[in-house]
Structure 1
Amino acid sequence: MADKTIMLVCAAGMSTSLMVSKMQNAAKDKGIDAEIFATAASDADEKINTENPDVLMLGPQVSYLLKDYQGKVDIPVEVINMQDYGMMRGEKVLDEALKLIDEAK
């Protein structure tokens, strides 16, 4: 089991798959043991219960879910910066996720 589990949510679970790959590469380069995965918004509640993520990162296209998830989970929830998402800056998104996890401890 990884030290940290990062869950990304997008509309269909497809557009974040490249972001997951970029984040996994950044984590590997930094020597960070992290499980990073993406899921569709329709499957997010089930995945939260089964995977127990440390942080929930929402794709910009589902930013409208922010308040909903902040009200029902006790882990950090944040919308991925639109520019970082659009440019597929996996390292920056990973750094933000790790910062949120550390701040929650």
Structure 2
Amino acid sequence: MADKTIMLACNAGMSTSLLVNKMQKAAAAEDDDVKIFATSADSIDQEIEQEHPDILMLGPQVRYLLKGIQQKVQIPVQVIDMKDYGMMNGANVLKTALAAIAK
């Protein structure tokens, strides 16, 4: 079982799935034991209940969900930096997620 679980969410879960692959490569390179997965915005509540992630990272296109989700959950919820998202910079998103979990 992984030390940390990072959940990404966007409209359909498709674009964040690409980012998950980049994050997994970055985690492997750093020897970080993390589980990273993507889901659609519609499945956030269900996935939190099933997977118990340590953090939820939202794609910029669903940033409007931030406040509502933060009020419902006891884990950090952040919007992925638009530049990192657009460049699919998995290493930066992973670093941001792990730093937020460590707080």
Q: Please say whether Structure 1 and Structure 2 have the same fold, judged by a TM-score greater than 0.5.
A: yes
- Aligned residue for 1:15, secondary structure, equals helix
The within-5 A match list for 1:28-39 is 28-39=28-39
Offset of residue 17 of structure 1:
0.8
The within-5 A match list for 1:63-78 is 63-78=63-78
Alpha-carbon distance in 2 for matches of 1:49, 1:23: 23
Percent identity, aligned pairs only?
A: 62
Partner of 1:41: 41
Offset of residue 67 of structure 1:
0.1
Offset of residue 21 of structure 1:
0.1
The within-5 A match list for 1:48-63 is 48-63=48-63
TM-score normalised to structure 2 length:
0.99
Alpha-carbon distance in 2 for matches of 1:8, 1:68: 16
The gaps in structure 1 that reach 5 residues or longer are none
What amino acid is aligned across from residue 31 of structure 2 in structure 1?
A: G
What amino acid is aligned across from residue 39 of structure 1 in structure 2?
A: T
- Show structure 1 runs of 4+ deviating over 3 A: none
The gaps in structure 2 that reach 5 residues or longer are none
| CA offset digits 1:58-92 (Å, max 9, x no partner) | 00000000001110000000000000000000000
Alpha-carbon distance in 1 for matches of 2:68, 2:25: 30
- Aligned residue for 1:32, secondary structure, equals coil
